[in-house]
Amino acid sequence: MASEKVLIVDDDKNICELLRLYLEKEGFQTVIVNDGEEAITAFKDENPDIMLLDIMLPKLDGWQVCREIRKFSDKPIIMITAKGETFDKVLGLELGADDYIAKPFETKEVVARIKAVLRRSSSSQPQSVKEVQFDKLSINLTNYELKVDGKQIDTPPKEMELIFHLASNPNRVFTRDQLLDEVWGFDYYGDSRTVDVHVKRLREKLEGVSDKWELKTVWGVGYKFETK
């Protein structure tokens, strides 16, 4: 039986109660709050293993809550939204969300997603330092530090995970779908443009740093970290 704690954040009390019933039946502990400010306080006080976070909330919206939580914790966050636009998905993932569920949802799907995200989270805990180094480039996934020519560069978590994944497999070509599955860890229901967004931002940080490696587009296929 599961014993992990789930923080449920939604201003719809009926949805909260439904999720609580299903999750507790599966053996999870639950904590419920109904606005964004409460969510941040409860996260600090309760130290949940995972958070289900609605986007449209009173006081602080889900984007702001996610942004604040990511300043001090990398615990998994699953965003819940009625919005399906690609922009919303890209923004949520960019801010550090681990998965997405759109309303209306099947409660069984939510439970399955929670279990899958928690499995990935526990299996990805570093057993040793995860670091790759190239000319003028150091990517340390244990500390989430990207250093370019000796200088630490501010980099969001998913960008770090993406460049680490590519650089750990130099010269291997990955399709966008492979990257979504292997870096984000779930089948992304929607436009894979999120990969392009992350690659573009990484290129802005890495362009022209060295002539010995390159974050390269393989037209019609995907991306690779090419070494020369």
What is the per-residue pLDDT for 130? 81
> Is 1.10.10.10 the CATH classification of the domain at 131-227?
yes
**pLDDT value of position 146:** 92
Q: What's the confidence (pLDDT) of residue 84?
A: 59
**Residue type, position 189, single letter:** Y
Q: Where do the structural domains in the chain lie, given as residue ranges? A: 5-123, 131-227
Question: Would you state the pLDDT for residue 157?
Answer: 84
Indicate the average pLDDT of the chain: 86
In order of 42, 137, 189, the CA distances from 176 in angstroms are 36, 24, 13
Buried/exposed code over 195-212 (b: 16+ C-beta within 10 A; e: otherwise): bebbbebbeeebeeeeee
pLDDT score for 85? 53
Q: Where are the beta strands (DSSP E) in 34-187?
A: 50-54, 77-81, 99-102, 131-134, 137-140, 145-148, 151-153, 174-175
Question: Tens digits of per-residue pLDDT, 105-150?
Answer: 888 888 888 888 888 776 555 455 688 999 999 999 888 889 999 8
Closest CA to 11 of 86, 94, 103, 84: 103
Whole-angstrom distance, CA of residue 66 vs CA of residue 43 = 11
For residue 43, what pLDDT is reported? 95
Residue 60 contacts residue 84 (beta carbons within 8 Å): no
pLDDT of residue 9: 96
Q: Tokens 């436009």, residue? A: 191
Query: Quick check: bond before 156 cis, omega within 30?
Result: no
* Structure token digits, residue 102: 């759109």
Q: How far apart are alpha carbons 183 and 139 in whole angstroms?
A: 15
Tens of each residue's pLDDT in the chain, 228 residues: 357 899 999 999 999 999 999 999 989 999 999 999 999 999 999 999 999 999 889 999 998 999 899 888 888 999 887 765 555 666 766 777 888 888 888 888 888 888 888 887 765 554 556 889 999 999 998 888 899 998 999 888 888 999 999 999 999 999 988 888 788 765 555 457 888 989 999 999 998 999 999 999 999 899 999 998
Geometric angle at alpha carbon 185, from 184 and 187, rounded to 5°: 95
**DSSP states of 78-113 as a string?**
EEEES---HHHHHHHHHTT--EEEESS--HHHHHHH
Fold of 5-123: Rossmann fold (3.40.50)
State the sign of the Cα–Cα–Cα–Cα dihedral 169, 170, 172, 173: positive
Q: Are 210 and 137 within 8 A, CB to CB?
A: yes
pLDDT, residue 187, reads: 52
Say which DSSP state 116 is in. H
226, amino acid identity: E
User: For residue 191, what pLDDT is reported?
Assistant: 58
The set of residues, in sequence order, having a beta carbon less than 8 Å from that of 125 and lying 6+ positions away, is: none
